[in-house]
Amino acid sequence: MAGSSEEAPDFGRGVVIMDDWPGYDLNLFTYPQHYYGDLEYVLIPHGIIVDRIERLAKDIMKDIGYSDIMVLCVLKGGYKFCADLVEHLKNISRNSDRFISMKVDFIRLKSYRNDQSMGEMQIIGGDDLSSLAGKNVLIVEDVVGTGRTMKALLSSIEKYKPNMIKVASLLVKRTSRSDGFRPDSHMRDQ
């Protein structure tokens, strides 16, 4: 911001939600009755999320270069985001002159036991990760917090020598404990 001592936000490839953003008035939207009394405002409308996921898919295809993709969905939170993102990737593939093969696998990451960090991460589920060798891997996560878990996952996957690894996240939390990790494609701060 010119003439301001405030630092301009880094929009990069994401949407930034400022700390002082009041959200949208609930009267602008319809929402399920069981939420009545529990919500004060809408922070991110569904339409913005859908549009952003479509844009993420376009960015991913540009980055990966219309090559076959192995998608690793990080459960549990990443399921809906991953399903929507994969659907957009399939639509792009259908409308291109080259078919892009996509395989989706699901993993869970465990780095905590009884709310205490174990200092190491376990990858639960997923096919034999050695099958990632030489593949273009897209890791899909709903929210990246400090980034430590994602860095540990990347380190584990890199041992299998994939051709490329990209990370897509719906949201990135602003936290003082962040280690600076940023996904390749994301919506931005929560």
Query: What band does 8 get if pLDDT is binned at 50, 70 and 90?
Result: very low
Q: Are strands 102-113 and 116-125 parallel, antiparallel or unpaired?
A: antiparallel
Joined together, the tokens standing for residue 99 give 């078919």
| The predicted structure's pLDDT at residue 5 | 33
Q: Which residue is associated with the tokens 């399939």?
A: 90
pLDDT at 118 over 90: no
| Phi and psi angles of residue 45, each rounded to the nearest 5 degrees, phi first | -65, 150
pLDDT in tens, 9-65: 444 557 778 888 899 999 999 999 999 999 999 999 999 999 999 999 999 998 888
Residue-range domains of the chain with CATH? 43-189 (3.40.50.2020)
Q: How far is CA 164 from the centre of its chain?
A: 17
| The predicted structure's pLDDT at residue 36 | 93
Sign, CA dihedral 179-184-189-190, equals: negative
Q: Rounded to whole angstroms, how far apart are CA atoms 165 and 184?
A: 9
Mean pLDDT of the chain: 82
